[in-house]
Amino acid sequence: MSPVASTLWRSRFGTLYTSNAFVLFSSAADTATPPSKNESLSSAPSPPPIRVAVTESAGRGVFATRRIGAGDTIHTAKPIVSHPSLSSIKSVCYFCLKKVKTVAGAQPQGFSFCCENCKESSKVFYDVEKKADWLAFDDYCRTQGLKYPLLVKRLACMVISGAAPAGILDILQPASITQDMILKMEEGFHLLRNGLVRANIGDEHTSFLTKQWYTDVLARIRINAFRIELAAGVYEDLLSLASASIEAEAAVGNAIYMLPSFYNHDCDPNTHIVWIENADAKLKALRDIDEGEELRICYIDVSMSYDARQSILSQGFGFKCNCLRCLSGD
């Protein structure tokens, strides 16, 4: 492992992996369930067969540390922060984004949890969130079609409750944002801050929440957020699947992960990220991968033309794709 890679493992994943609040990734053999406090070290899942290291031309990337077979699950990952899309908020678990059938136990705001475990886990943000009135903030997101400020709001509540450090996303690459974009973010910042101030959450808990923090977090979320579309099988029937994609967006929500954020993009990827029934992600090999090969996922629809792909990658993610397919002009 290169010095860069080993530093990354120690500083980010070593700490996070042993945290009780968040277990952010696990090996293929693991079910992504947090290990219990009593579990012995010997039964802890082995680390996934990957390392993070610097690539030649795309910043950091993820590399295979051994051969990985086509179809293998490389690792799973739990979100650092996730949030349902506003159009799905009543039909998915407010914590894990699993589809929920009934609204039994629904909160006054109209959302519900799929199980006691999720209800309990949501305390990391919900005890703070429920003190405030978010009508204006949610309206701002809804009318402007914004999804990422919802992730910032949830993260802010997690920081206030002490469940996450304010700089938890600092290691992720930020998007470069213009002054004009910063100006557009200001309304969201003020609505978030006002919501918390009106809920009498004192300065001692919210001092991190500056305009700089808000725009900085949004800049990182912009590049690193995943849009979560659950595998079709979990929809009760084809009709509900069809209406989900017509009525609104097919995505049940958005989430930020730590390790999956280091995967670079390729228009002919060897790896893909899937969500089966909730926001827990699975990284799977699309073909046989050799030891040392970089693992790359696809950020966009690869069936698009070269020009369409370049345009989306440049506008949405701020880079010109250097993958072999693009270099060949396909």
State which of residues 223, 234, 241, 286 lies at the interface with ligand SAM (CB under 6 A).
Answer: 223
C-beta neighbour count of 37 within 10 angstroms? 6
Instruction: Indicate the residue among 57 and 143 with the shorter CB distance to ligand SAM.
Output: 57
The only residue of 51, 60, 75, 98 in contact with ligand SAM, by rule CB under 6 A: 60
**Does residue 270 bind ligand SAM (CB under 6 A)?**
no
Which residues, in sequence order, are CB contacts of 207 under 8 Å at separation 6+? none
Q: Is 73 left (phi over 0), alpha (psi -120 to 50) or beta?
A: beta
Give how far the C-alpha of residue 94 lies from the chain's centroid of Cα atoms, to the nearest Å: 15
End-to-end CA distance of the chain: 34
C-alpha–C-alpha distance, residues 257 and 60, integer Å = 15
111 or 319: CB nearest ligand SAM: 319
Interacting span for ligand SAM (CB under 6 A) from 3-11, 29-37, 58-66, 176-184? 58-66
Stretch that binds ligand SAM, among 82-90, 129-137, 229-237, 257-265 (CB under 6 A): 257-265
In the complex, what is the shortest distance from the CB of residue 320 to ligand SAM, in angstroms, rounded to a whole number? Answer: 7
Helix axes 179-198 and 135-144, enclosed angle (nearest 10): 150
Nearer Cβ to ligand SAM, position 142 or 287?
287
Strands 264-265 and 294-297: parallel
Residue 54 exposure: Cα atoms within 13 Å on the Cβ side: 6
With CB under 6 A as the contact rule, the residue among 76, 261, 271, 278 that binds ligand SAM is 261
In the complex with ligand SAM, which residue's Cβ is closer, 82 or 264?
A: 264
Residue 262 touches ligand SAM, criterion: CB under 6 A: yes
Based on the shown chain and the rule CB under 6 A, indicate whether residue 323 belongs to the binding site for ligand SAM: yes
- Contact with ligand SAM (CB under 6 A) among 12, 98, 147, 265: 265
Q: Rounded to the nearest 10 degrees, what angle do helices 179-198 and 211-224 cross at? A: 120
Q: Is 316 in the site for ligand SAM (CB under 6 A)?
A: no
Query: Taking Cα atoms as reference points, which of 156, 168, 161 lies closest to residue 80?
Result: 168
* Shortest distance, position 88 Cβ to ligand SAM, whole Å: 24
Instruction: Tell the residue number behind the tokens 């992600």, with chain if given.
Output: 281
Q: Which stretch binds ligand SAM (CB under 6 A): 109-117, 233-241, 273-281, 319-327?
A: 319-327
Residues 6 or more apart whose Cβ sits within 8 Å of residue 319: 58, 265, 313
Give the x/- contact pattern for ligand SAM in 159-178, rule: CB under 6 A.
--------------x-----
Stretch that binds ligand SAM, among 11-19, 56-64, 161-169, 302-310 (CB under 6 A): 56-64
Q: Which is nearer to ligand SAM, 76 or 264 (CB)?
A: 264
The CA-based dihedral angle spanning residues 39, 42, 44, 46, taken in that order and rounded to the nearest 10 degrees: 180
Amino acid 241 reads: L
Ramachandran quadrant class, 176 (left: phi over 0; alpha: psi -120 to 50; beta: rest): beta
Least spacing, CB of residue 52 vs ligand SAM, in Å: 9
- Contact residues for ligand SAM, defined by CB under 6 A: 58-61, 173, 223-224, 261-262, 264-266, 317-319, 321-323
